[in-house]
Structure 1
Amino acid sequence: MQNRIFLSSPHMSEEGYEKEYVKEAFDTNWIAPLGENVNKFEEELANKIGSKSAAALSSGTAAIHLALKAAGVETGDIVFCPTLTFSATANPIIYQNATPVFIDSNEETWNMCPEALEKAFIKYPKVKAVIVVHLYGLSADMDKITELCRKHNVPLIEDAAESLGTYYKGKHTGTFGDYGIFSFNGNKIITTSGGGMLVSNNIEKVAKARFWATQSRDLAKHYQHSELGFNYRMSNVVAGIGRGQLKVLNQRVEKKREIFSFYKEHLENLDGLEFMPSNEWDEPNYWLSSITLNGQVRPLDIMEALEKENIESRPVWKPMHMQPFFANYDCVLNGTSEKLFKNGVCLPSDTKMTSNDLIRVVNAIKKLWYQ
């Protein structure tokens, strides 16, 4: 059996940057809970993307949760959320005892459809917040979405968990909304093993999020808590890994783009196979190279053929309105998300893939057309 080709696995820098920062944490005995790596990671990521402030947290999910709390979302409030996303986008809405309303995608971006969002605003004029996702590293249509949120005076939260390194009209995703979130889970474009970041130009709101994330401990000599707190802060060791990973972000984005280009060059002429969309205003990081199938070859055929060759692949996210837990919540649909789920496949996009690995993937897929 040949070596396993993964969908998207952790990739430490060849230069060993991560080890240097982790060693520093050990040498100074700043293992937990906080320390210089946490402070510097926040500062360096904020500078990288052009945000005024950042809070390093235990996960991207925690970052979304605190963004909702900072936006004033409370029990019974309505929050608009894309239906085509991972459940971590929607779960924090429930943590706040709020009510999600799921918004469909459009085929131009695979992300939140501005027309569907506008319909949702008409139906729910008292919505408290909007979450937009940049799926698979593709940017949503941020001009239209931010315009709608400003028009209705509703806070916008960007779930940029999959899109660190993606640009919309020359500006980093995650920096258009009132709050942006990033994930450093093991499968993301850079990883801290697990972790996330909340960013915002509102320095006071980020400071408040840090306070909540450290158990809302008041400034007192004794342990005093005037607000509900959370254990959401990132550790100094994990932040050290993040600082090292941030140094190679540009390399990782470049490799992801090379992978997408290779697939497109070798597969785009196959009948019924189409690639994820591209727009002139979007510079994706291509976190996962994804395709749709509209001919005789179906997604399951692709995934089974790849698995026989010890190659990992995945379906496109199952929409939230189709999930058992979220099935009873309202949604504004146009059929796009269900179509993408039915026809979509995420191809292996691991930045450690060699030329031979890419050829293996392409050949396994082509066999389905030429067998």
Structure 2
Amino acid sequence: MKKVINLSVPNLDVEPILSNLRECIESGWVSTGGRFITEFENKIAVYTKSKKAVGVQSGTAGLHLALDVLGVKSEDEVLVPTLTFIAAVNPVTYVGATPVFIGCDDSLCIDPNLLEKFLKEECFIKNGVTYNKKTLKRIPALILVHVFGNMADMEKIMDIASRFNLKVIEDSTEALGTYYTAGKYVGKYAGTIGDIGIYSFNANKIITTGGGGMVLAKDEKILDRIRSLSTQAKKDDLYFIHDEIGYNYRMLNLQAALGTTQIDGLEKFIETKTKNYMRYKEAISKIEGLTLLDFNSATRPNYWFYSIVVDEKRYGMNKDKLLNALVSEGIQTRPIWGLIHEQKPYLKNETYGSEKAIWYHNRVLNIPCSSNLGDDEIQTVIDVLKSLKKK
């Protein structure tokens, strides 16, 4: 039986994890209370140069809370990317609002030029509020996603958002550790530039708590409200007094016990992923018909996912045939997610400039990229990619 080379798996140091989990179990603090939650929040805040962070059950929960505290209401519209995982979009519907889909640029992130064109040509501003000309619905917010750890063009996006009075939610669930090395936001991490930033610690992310997420915000009052809402909006812990509708979205101490060890290894993980990306890039550049996508040159990316573009004519097979061939060789790979505007719940939603997103969706595959990927495994992937090319 062939050894499977997985796409993206956790890199776990067992001993410190076991020590932390043992403390949780012996103390009885296994749920939404305990010292590891605060410790993990503080470590994320320090790492990202933020004042505070709030742990939640998932990145999705963080997005839902962000939309809630920013005042997005039923009958509003929120601008979102179509090229992303559906969890970045579904929370818009949780608050009763409607997603409007915007296409991507060559970074795979939301295209600021399309965003600006849509707002200029398809919208109008009245009393400082942006409205959609077709639907007459208010557009108070934008969700952007730093796809595969690649930073979206935040300089342009923040300028556009300011001119059209949009709140900016950064879905940084794939981009923990990515930061700008040049430009207006030099030194700023993904998730710290918009109004609210969200991280995810799902099992395939660069660090993991099994599940879980984290929320950052420029305004500490917003974070305080998110913390309250995530614990059922409990105003009085002793008498269980609740002054608004809240959610059961608090991070577990068990999750944080894992996360507080993982964050300590993040820079080492990024170092390894950078080295592996460069090795792939050199080798794949010599395989006609395959191109490894670049990351934004003005950033230090976390290199979360490695994406290859398949040119069917030059390589000799299309993306789907290559995917199946790699899987049959024991190499786990996957395409870009199904574009959200083509998913059944969103077929009737407005979509703007999706051509490039469709182009990449038809050509991109992600190849193994775990931070504990061995040299032999990388060489195996390279060798198989070479061998599958049609002469």
TM-score interval for Structure 1 and Structure 2 normalised by the shorter chain = over 0.9
CA distance in 2, matches of 1:277, 1:319: 21
Match of 1:176 among 186, 190, 193: 193
Q: For residue 333 of structure 1, what is the aligned residue in structure 2?
A: 353
Q: For residue 360 of structure 1, what is the aligned residue in structure 2?
A: 380
C-alpha deviation, 1:146, in angstroms: 0.7
Q: For residue 249 of structure 2, what is the aligned residue in structure 1?
A: 232
The one-letter code matched in structure 1 to 2:97 is A
Q: Does 1:116 align with 2:133?
A: no
SS in 1 for 2:177: coil
8 Å Cα contact 1:53-1:201 kept in structure 2 = no
CA distance in 2, matches of 1:197, 1:140: 20
CA distance in 1, matches of 2:388, 2:330: 16
Q: For residue 209 of structure 1, what is the aligned residue in structure 2?
A: 226
C-alpha deviation, 1:120, in angstroms: 2.5
SS in 2 for 1:243: helix
Map 1:52-71 onto structure 2 (within 5 A). Answer: 52-71=51-70
C-alpha deviation, 1:324, in angstroms: 1.5
Q: For residue 142 of structure 1, what is the aligned residue in structure 2?
A: 154
SS in 1 for 2:241: coil
CA distance in 1, matches of 2:387, 2:260: 42
The one-letter code matched in structure 1 to 2:54 is A
CA distance in 2, matches of 1:309, 1:100: 39
Q: Does 1:267 align with 2:265?
A: no
Map 1:249-268 onto structure 2 (within 5 A). Answer: 249-268=266-285
| Residues matched between the structures, number | 369
Q: Does 1:163 align with 2:175?
A: yes
Q: Does 1:315 align with 2:332?
A: no
C-alpha deviation, 1:303, in angstroms: 1.2
Q: TM-score, normalised by structure 1?
A: 0.96
SS in 2 for 1:197: strand
CA distance in 1, matches of 2:295, 2:32: 42
C-alpha deviation, 1:111, in angstroms: 0.6
Q: Deviations over 1:198-253 (max 9, x none)?
A: 11121111110111111112226433323111100011111010000000001111
SS in 2 for 1:34: coil
In structure 1, runs of 5+ residues without a counterpart are none
In structure 2, runs of 5+ residues without a counterpart are 124-129, 132-138, 182-186
8 Å Cα contact 1:3-1:310 kept in structure 2 = yes
Q: Deviations over 1:15-39 (max 9, x none)?
A: x332232222223321222111001
The one-letter code matched in structure 2 to 1:10 is P
Q: Deviations over 1:50-108 (max 9, x none)?
A: 1121110000000011011111111011111111000000000000000111111011x
8 Å Cα contact 2:150-2:296 kept in structure 1 = no
State the Cα RMSD in Å.
1.4
- Cα 1:220–1:174 change in 2 (3 A) is closer
Q: TM-score, normalised by structure 2?
A: 0.91
CA distance in 2, matches of 1:166, 1:191: 16
Q: Deviations over 1:257-296 (max 9, x none)?
A: 1221121111112222122133321221111100111233
Q: Does 1:34 align with 2:51?
A: no
CA distance in 1, matches of 2:161, 2:354: 20
CA distance in 2, matches of 1:318, 1:243: 33
8 Å Cα contact 2:236-2:242 kept in structure 1 = no
Q: For residue 236 of structure 2, what is the aligned residue in structure 1?
A: 219
C-alpha deviation, 1:151, in angstroms: 1.5
Q: Deviations over 1:155-198 (max 9, x none)?
A: 10000000111112332111110100000000000000000001
SS in 2 for 1:255: helix
CA distance in 1, matches of 2:59, 2:240: 28
SS in 1 for 2:214: strand
The one-letter code matched in structure 1 to 2:257 is G
C-alpha deviation, 1:357, in angstroms: 0.7
8 Å Cα contact 1:103-1:113 kept in structure 2 = yes
SS in 1 for 2:191: coil
The one-letter code matched in structure 2 to 1:23 is R
CA distance in 2, matches of 1:242, 1:351: 16
CA distance in 2, matches of 1:261, 1:232: 39
SS in 1 for 2:345: coil
SS in 1 for 2:170: strand
C-alpha deviation, 1:368, in angstroms: 1.6
Q: Is the deviation greater in 263-272 or in 54-63?
A: 263-272
C-alpha deviation, 1:370, in angstroms: 5.5
CA distance in 2, matches of 1:320, 1:345: 17
Q: Is the deviation greater in 316-325 or in 126-135?
A: 316-325
Q: For residue 288 of structure 1, what is the aligned residue in structure 2?
A: 305
The one-letter code matched in structure 1 to 2:353 is L
The one-letter code matched in structure 2 to 1:112 is I
8 Å Cα contact 2:118-2:352 kept in structure 1 = yes
The one-letter code matched in structure 1 to 2:98 is T
8 Å Cα contact 2:284-2:292 kept in structure 1 = no
- Cα 1:225–1:308 change in 2 (3 A) is same
